[in-house]
Chain A
Amino acid sequence: MTEERIIRSDEQAVFDLRRLYQRYGYVRYKMGRFEEYDLYVRNKDFLVSDEVITFTDHTGRLLALKPDVTLSIIKNTVDRPGAVQKFYYNENVYRVAKGAHSFKEIMQAGLECIGDLSGYDIAEVVGLAVRSLGLIGREYVLDLSHMGLVSAMLAESGLSPAGQSSALAFIHQKNGHELKELCDREGIDPADAARLGALVDCCGPAAETLEWLRPALRGGEELRAFEEFRQLCAILEKSVGGSRVRVDFSVGNDMKYYSGVVFKGYLEGIPASVLSGGQYDKLLAKMGRRSGAIGFAVYLDLLERANSAEEYGVDTVLLYDPGADPAALSAAAETLAGEGSLLVTAALPEQMRYRRLMRMTERGIEPVENR
């Protein structure tokens, strides 16, 4: 049954992801359940949700049930010129999921690479993001954007600072009509407005999308960021294949923390992104650090929802009568367990979904129903 699944269960995913990250030299980061609230409140905007469960410990310190892992990992690393530190984790975090009205325990896996990042480190992390998706689902895609490039184009556009932040929100929503209205309202030159419009329209396979965007670029920071982005996409094309990686500038919506590549991963059958990450050097700078950092998180709670739609609970149910011989039953179970998942039971559980139903009789195993 496992082979036929379109999306793997969260437990299998954790196991496979851990092996993948270890293979690339990432070491496990294990964090405590609590962290000082101050760490989160100072970097509130970096969190997926700013609502945190807090409590006071016996010494009067205000603690939080961890809503995030990245901030703790950063806190526990030091700047070492020329070196990078690589960590992976799988931890439960506690936060209010979007659209929900209460806190949830969410299983999250991911990795962080912190230090003097090279082009290789960045490509390795993004490549691992693609490979992570491949371990979980059959149909997947990783959308990439570059906040350095988007910020440079916004800065060049002539929009006011408030206008730039609205424009970024419109690009994030693929809302070309309101982006155009904003540019008209702020009296932006139509050529400049069209350049920003290209960031909404431009999405698709990396190489051809970037080639399409190239003529719209001007010198300086735009070209530097573009070249960095183009090189990354070229490396990914060779390492993980071009068909799974797309350029889409709607990915990033935060110029405060993210400085370079940002990305989101989608699996067919799950309505929201299951993987999210990026290069967040600006967060480290804000925390007084010199290092760069890139990482991503995989939201494993979303996989559970996809798997709940699974057609069958088990491959085989083997029913037996109360007087059945345990030794014969054990031998039959050994045989059937080799053919897929198996439930041996005296009474069929309510609403049990199975592929085939068998019964243990004096004559041996007999089929009752095949679906």
Chain B
Amino acid sequence: MKTVNIALPKGRLGEKVYQMFRAAGFDCPAIEENNRKLIFENREKGVRYFWVKPSDVAIYVERGAADIGVAGKDILLEYRPDVYELLDLKVGNCRMAVAAPESFRDFVGSTLRVATKFPAIAETYYNKKCRDIDIIKLNGSIEIAPILGLSDVIVDIVETGTTLRENGLIPIETIVPISARLIANKASYKFKNEELRAICAGLEKQVNNND
């Protein structure tokens, strides 16, 4: 049995996803201990988990440091890593949306200023609509961009909409639903095929049980 390296996103989503791996029979008791370690292994089950920044999971998998990992669809759409997307885990559900102040009216005669952490997703979306846009790449606190007149709209992840409402914004268009996906390195899928398929099948059962 070959050891499978699994990159999990640090934080609440990662913990939830680990519970799915555990229920699927790929537990790792060391991970449940309260400590600051980042790598955990269960040799008996042939798994080695490590916690990484959520936006880095796809990089670890694409470059083969991890055989599989769990990444949000937002990251996959934004960075387009060359990986397999094997399963929709149906957790971490939210959506990528366009939001704007309630008073916003889209005057198509002028360039739309879009503030976002996800320039590639925003560009693809507006290109399909043939809408001329000016992308303003920000790294956080996107919601304040329209309030301060930096942008007309924002493209961002919306979970409950509370943060938007509290900043006087409303979602006006949904671009794509987002959830956590199981991704795999392409070469690992060839050389650890049996192991990866077993994990994927175990997780698929968990997804179906949760439905």
Contact = CB atoms under 8 A, between A and B. Distances in A.
Contacts of A143: 190
Tell me the interface secondary structure of chain B in the complex. mixed
Nearest to A142: B190
Nearest to B183: A173
A174 B84 contact: yes
B85 A175 contact: yes
B88 A272 contact: no
B82 interface: yes
A135 B64 CA distance: 23
A60 interface: no
A273 B86 contact: no
Contact of A98 (B82, B86, B88, B184): B82
Interface string A159-179: 000000000000001110110
B63 interface: yes
Given A99-B62, A271-B64, A266 B86 contact: no
B85 A266 contact: no
Interface size band for B = 10 to 19
Contacts of A175: 84-86
B86 A271 contact: no
Contacts of B3: none
A271 B190 contact: no
B62 A173 contact: no
Interface in B141-193: 184-191
A273 B189 CA distance: 12
Nearest to A264: B186
B62 A271 contact: yes
Contact of B190 (A141, A173, A178): A141
Contacts of A141: 190-191
Interface in A247-274: 250, 266-268, 270-273
Given A174-B85, A177-B88, A268 B191 contact: yes
Interface in A223-262: 246, 250
A16 interface: no
B87 A266 contact: no
User: Is chain A's interface secondary structure helix, strand, loop, or mixed overall?
Assistant: loop
A178 B177 CA distance: 11
Nearest to A170: B85
Among B88, B187, B191, the most chain A Cβ lie within 10 Å of the Cβ of B187
Contact of A173 (B84, B185, B188, B191): B84
A271 B187 contact: yes
A139 interface: yes
Contact of B191 (A139, A178, A250, A272): A139
Contacts of B191: 139, 141, 266, 268
Contacts of A270: 64, 187
Interface string B70-106: 0000000000001111111000000000000000000
A7 to B, nearest CB: 12
A273 B186 contact: yes
A17 B126 CA distance: 47
A141 B192 CA distance: 12
Given A266-B191, A268-B191, A273-B186, A250 B84 contact: yes
A178 B189 CA distance: 19
B61 to A, nearest CB: 9
A273 B190 CA distance: 11
Nearest to B184: A174
Contacts of B85: 173-175, 178
A139 B191 CA distance: 9
A266 B186 CA distance: 9
Nearest first, the 4 A-B pairs at minimum CB distance are A271-B64, A174-B84, A175-B85, A177-B88
Given A173-B83, A178-B88, 8 more contacts: A174-B86, A175-B86, A178-B85, A250-B84, A266-B191, A271-B185, A271-B188, A272-B62
Interface of B: 59, 62-64, 82-88, 184-191
8 contacts: A99-B59, A139-B191, A173-B84, A174-B189, A177-B88, A178-B88, A250-B84, A271-B62
